[in-house]
């Protein structure tokens, strides 16, 4: 009964993730008014959410139905892509904070500083950082001897539950995981705090109340996404003893692998007038096209 309930919950979360992130990607791609650095980064964020949920959810759903085993190589591949996509998202959130800092604090230099080439380089840098971290974590984890139980106390292959299966000293692995995740978290959070410190000072100096409200609304969406993502990641990976607290880790893992990808599109679409207007234009496009042709031929 518990597996059936978990299957229904995971399936619902994954379907909503797909239905929330795919329209965001499509509307940002098709609507020329959203071809700006902020929405370019947001499209990449939606793509990452969709991909790393897809790395976890289908395998978990299959396991709930039939308790299907995962192969050694399949487990390594799942860990690699999950770590790669998750780390990339952590860095991308910091890049998005820098983009907001440049747009608000240096509006005249913004078109030059955040040109398309720079945006692409920043996104590629985030992907390279995610790939490097993933290679280190996956290689260190899967070079350990696994000679005890082969049952993973988790719903996907992650570093903490895999370290518990190893029959060797994992102190070095835990230290490396704590060091790398701590470095990424601290570096990204410091960048976000500095960026929003300057943003807050700039907004408070503005005289226009409507301008303040618009900027606070835009920045509030990003801050909400940052708080949700970094808060849960820190609980699992960024503190000593994370390997031992597996029950707590499983709960938080559900949150940041399946719940946050559901919430991010809602956060950005409900609090962003441009995105809501673009979704309406996209939905009205076939009707408008039909109306224009109504004088020439009868619409179906």
Query: How much is the pLDDT for 291?
Result: 46
Q: What is the pLDDT of residues 190-220, one digit of tens each?
A: 999 898 888 888 887 777 666 666 666 667 7
pTM of this prediction? 0.85
- HSE at residue 228, side-chain half, CA atoms within 13 A, is 19
Question: Where do the H-state alpha helices sit in the chain?
Answer: 2-30, 37-66, 72-105, 110-113, 116-142, 159-165, 171-205, 209-237, 246-254, 260-270, 273-292
- Directed axis angle between helix 260-270 and helix 209-237, to 10°? 180
Measured between alpha carbons, how far is 41 from 122 in angstroms, rounded to an integer?
Answer: 9
Q: Quick one: pLDDT at residue 217?
A: 66
Ramachandran category for residue 259: left, alpha or beta (phi over 0 → left; psi -120 to 50 → alpha): alpha
Q: Are 7 and 65 in contact (CB under 8 A)?
A: yes
Degrees (nearest 5) of the Cα angle 241, 225, 6? 65
Q: DSSP assignment, residue 256?
A: I
Give Cα 151 distance to the centre of its chain. Answer: 28
CA 119 – CA 132 distance, rounded (Å): 20
Kindly state the average pLDDT of the residues 16-20: 91
As a whole number of angstroms, the distance between CA 13 and CA 264 comes to 13
The Cα–Cα gap between 297 and 47 comes to: 40
Residue 272, φ and ψ in degrees, nearest 5: -125, 110
Residue-wise pLDDT for 153-194, tens only, equals 888 888 888 888 888 888 888 888 888 888 888 888 899 989
- In the structure encoding, which two tokens stand for residue 199, read together? 């943003």
Structure tokens at 179: 């060091």
pLDDT in tens, 247-291: 666 777 888 788 888 888 887 776 666 676 776 776 665 544 444
């Amino acid at each position: 009964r518990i597996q059936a309930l978990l299957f229904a919950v995971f399936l619902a979360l994954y379907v909503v993730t797909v239905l929330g992130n795919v329209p965001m990607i499509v509307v940002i791609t098709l609507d020329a008014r959203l071809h700006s650095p902020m929405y370019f980064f947001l499209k990449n964020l939606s793509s990452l959410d969709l991909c790393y949920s897809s790395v976890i959810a289908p395998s978990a759903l299959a396991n709930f139905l039939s308790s299907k085993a995962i192969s050694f190589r399949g487990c390594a591949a799942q860990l690699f892509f999950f770590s790669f996509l998750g780390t990339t998202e952590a860095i991308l959130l910091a890049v998005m904070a820098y983009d907001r800092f440049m747009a608000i604090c240096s509006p005249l230099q913004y078109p030059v500083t955040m040109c398309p080439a720079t945006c692409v380089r920043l996104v590629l840098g985030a992907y390279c950082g995610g790939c490097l971290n993933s290679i280190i974590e996956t290689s260190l984890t899967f070079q350990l001897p696994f000679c005890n139980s082969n049952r993973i106390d988790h719903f996907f292959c992650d570093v903490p539950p895999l370290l518990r299966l190893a029959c060797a000293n994992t102190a070095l692995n835990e230290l490396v995981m704590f060091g790398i995740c701590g470095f990424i978290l601290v570096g990204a959070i410091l960048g976000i705090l500095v960026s929003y410190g300057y943003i807050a000072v700039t907004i408070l100096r503005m005289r226009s109340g409507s301008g303040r409200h618009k900027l606070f609304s835009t920045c509030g969406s990003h801050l909400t996404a940052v708080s949700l993502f970094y808060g849960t990641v820190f609980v699992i990976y960024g503190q000593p003893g994370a390997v031992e607290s597996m029950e707590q880790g499983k709960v938080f893992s559900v949150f940041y692998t399946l719940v946050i990808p559901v919430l991010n599109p809602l956060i950005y679409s409900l609090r962003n007038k441009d995105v809501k207007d673009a979704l309406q234009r996209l939905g009205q496009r076939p009707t408008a096209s039909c109306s224009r042709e109504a004088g020439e031929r009868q619409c179906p």
